[in-house]
Chains A and B, each alone.
Chain A
Amino acid sequence: MNRKKVLKNTLITGLVFLAVGGWLLHIRTHPPLMDEDNLVPFISGMVSIFILPLLFWFRSTISYAYVINGFLVILGTITMSHFSIVHFNGPLSLAGILFNTTLPDIALLWGKFVVGKALFDLELLRSDQDTIPAGRYFRYPNTGWWLVHLVMLSVVYALGHILWK
Chain B
Amino acid sequence: MYRFMLFKPGWWILHLIAIAFVFWLGHAIGF
Contacts and interface: CB of A to CB of B under 8 A. Distances in A.
Question: Is A bound to B?
Answer: yes
Interface of A: 37, 40, 75, 79, 82-83, 86-87, 136, 139-141, 153, 156-162, 164-165
Interface in B1-31: 1-2, 19, 22-31
Contact of A156 (B2, B23, B28, B29): B23
Nearest to A63: B1
B24 to A, nearest CB: 6
Contacts, number: 48
Q: Is the interface of A mostly helix, strand, loop or mixed?
A: helix
Contacts of B22: 75, 153, 156-157, 160
A148 B25 CA distance: 19
B26 A161 contact: yes
15 contacts: A37-B28, A40-B25, A75-B25, A79-B29, A82-B29, A82-B31, A87-B31, A136-B2, A139-B2, A141-B1, A156-B19, A156-B23, A156-B26, A157-B22, A157-B23
B22 to A, nearest CB: 4
B5 to A, nearest CB: 9
Interface of B: 1-2, 19, 22-31
Contacts of B28: 37
Contacts of B31: 37, 82-83, 86-87
A40 B25 CA distance: 9
B20 to A, nearest CB: 9
B25 A157 contact: yes
A88 to B, nearest CB: 11
B30 A160 contact: no
Contact of A164 (B1, B2, B19, B27): B27
The residue among A139, A141, A158, A161 with the most chain B CB atoms within 10 A of its own CB is A161
Nearest to A160: B26
A160 B27 contact: yes
